[in-house]
C-alpha cells in the first residue's frame, strides 16, 4: 500500500486529505502544517504536526500542497533520500523543489473551494517526475485517485495553468459581473443557470471559435452601444475590451 504524507492545509490539501482518509488503497500517515490550528480538526483521524523535525519518515510520497511561493522554502527543509516529494502547483517548475529526495509534480487541474465537494475520479491530473522509477510510483498513485492523468512537463503545465486562469478564474468573475447586473434589477440569477451550463457544455461539440454568438460576433453596433450605456464604469471597460477582442477574432473592427 502506498504511504502518503500531506504538507499543507489549503483547498487542495484539505480535499486531498479528506479523500485519502476515506480511501482504502492509500495509507495517509500524517498531515503537516506550520499553523497547527488549521489541521487540529484532523487529530482524531490521523497524526498531525507543525514540526518538520517530527515528520514521519516512512512515507513513499510526500505531497506539498502549499501556496506557490512557499514550495521552495518548505521543500528545502526536507531530507528524504529515496522518497518522492511532489508539489501540486500548476505554476511552479519541478526544479523549484529543493528537497533532498526524488521529485515530482502532481497537479490536479480543477478548482477547489473548501465548501464544495470534489470528486477526484473526474479530475485530470498533470504529472511529472525526475526519474522513470519515480514516474512509475506517481502514476500508480494517481491511478488510485483519478480516472485520467496526463504527462505534462513544467513548461506545458505553466501554460496550462495560465489557460485555466482564463477558463476558470476569469470566467467565474464574469459570472460575478452578470450576477451584479441581475441583483441590481431584481432578477433571480438562477434564470441564467441553463445558459451558463450550455455555454460550458457546447464546447465539447464545437470549438470555442465556432460556438461564439452575441452582439460582438454579429458586429451589431447598435446593441453594443446601448449595452455599454447601461453599464457602470468598471464593467464598461471589460465590455469594451472583450467585445473588441471578439470583433478582432472574427476580422471586424468596433
Please name the residue ranges forming H helices in the chain: 11-22, 68-76, 132-145, 154-164, 171-184, 193-202, 208-211, 215-218, 221-230, 233-249
Q: Which three cell numbers stand for residue 76?
A: 528545502
- The burial of 139, by beta-carbon neighbours within 10 Å (0-12 exposed, 13-18 middle, 19 or more buried), is given as middle
Q: Residue count at the site for its own copies (CB under 8 A)?
A: 95
Q: At 72, phi and psi to the nearest 5?
A: -60, -50
Give the C-alpha separation, 173 to 238, whole Å. 11
How far does Cα 216 stand from its chain's mean position?
Answer: 30
- Binding segment (CB under 8 A) for its own copies, from list 17-25, 30-38, 50-58, 112-120: 112-120
The least distance separating its own copies from the CB of residue 71, rounded to whole angstroms, comes to: 12
Single residue of 211, 219, 236, 252 touching its own copies by CB under 8 A: 211
Give the C-alpha separation, 83 to 7, whole Å. 14
| Number of helical (H) and strand (E) elements in the chain, helices listed first | 10, 8
The least distance separating its own copies from the CB of residue 234, rounded to whole angstroms, comes to: 6
Could you say whether residue 98 binds its own copies (CB under 8 A)? no
Considering only residues 213-232, where is the footprint of its own copies by CB under 8 A?
A: 213-218, 220, 222-223, 226-227, 230-231
Considering only residues 21-50, where is the footprint of its own copies by CB under 8 A?
A: none
Could you say whether residue 73 binds its own copies (CB under 8 A)? no
Could you say whether residue 198 binds its own copies (CB under 8 A)? yes
Is the Cβ of residue 23 or residue 178 nearer to its own copies in the bound state? Answer: 178
The least distance separating its own copies from the CB of residue 191, rounded to whole angstroms, comes to: 5
Considering only residues 119-138, where is the footprint of its own copies by CB under 8 A?
A: 122-124, 126
Give residue 110's region: left, alpha or beta (phi > 0; psi -120 to 50): beta
Single residue of 1, 22, 24, 209 touching its own copies by CB under 8 A: 209
Give the dihedral sign, CA 138/142/143/147. negative
The least distance separating its own copies from the CB of residue 204, rounded to whole angstroms, comes to: 6
Is the Cβ of residue 57 or residue 173 nearer to its own copies in the bound state? Answer: 173
Is the Cβ of residue 84 or residue 127 nearer to its own copies in the bound state? Answer: 127
Could you say whether residue 177 binds its own copies (CB under 8 A)? yes
Amino acid at each position: 500500500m502506498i504511504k502518503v504524507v500531506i504538507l499543507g492545509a489549503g483547498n487542495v490539501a484539505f480535499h486531498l486529505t479528506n479523500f485519502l482518509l476515506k480511501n482504502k488503497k492509500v495509507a495517509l500517515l500524517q498531515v503537516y502544517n506550520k499553523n497547527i490550528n488549521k489541521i487540529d480538526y484532523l487529530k482524531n483521524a490521523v497524526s498531525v504536526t507543525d514540526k518538520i523535525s517530527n515528520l514521519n519518515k516512512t512515507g513513499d510520497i510526500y505531497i506539498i500542497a502549499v501556496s506557490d511561493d512557499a514550495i521552495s522554502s518548505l521543500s528545502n527543509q526536507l531530507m528524504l533520500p529515496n522518497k518522492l516529494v511532489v508539489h501540486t502547483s500548476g505554476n511552479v517548475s519541478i526544479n523549484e523543489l529543493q528537497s533532498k529526495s526524488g521529485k515530482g509534480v502532481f497537479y490536479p487541474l480543477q478548482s477547489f473551494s473548501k465548501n464544495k465537494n470534489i470528486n477526484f475520479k473526474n479530475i485530470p491530473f498533470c504529472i511529472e517526475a525526475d526519474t522513470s522509477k519515480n514516474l512509475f510510483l506517481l502514476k500508480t498513485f494517481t491511478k488510485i485517485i483519478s480516472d485520467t492523468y496526463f504527462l505534462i512537463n513544467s513548461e506545458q503545465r505553466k501554460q496550462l495553468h495560465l489557460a485555466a486562469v482564463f477558463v476558470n478564474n476569469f470566467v467565474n468573475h464574469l459570472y460575478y459581473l452578470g450576477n451584479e447586473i441581475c441583483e441590481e434589477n431584481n432578477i433571480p440569477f438562477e434564470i441564467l443557470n441553463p445558459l451558463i451550463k450550455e455555454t460550458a457544455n457546447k464546447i465539447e461539440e464545437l470549438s470555442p471559435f465556432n460556438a461564439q454568438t452575441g452582439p460582438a460576433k454579429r458586429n451589431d453596433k447598435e446593441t453594443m452601444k446601448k449595452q455599454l450605456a447601461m453599464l457602470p464604469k468598471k464593467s464598461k471597460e471589460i465590455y469594451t475590451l472583450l467585445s473588441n477582442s471578439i470583433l478582432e477574432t472574427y476580422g471586424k473592427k468596433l
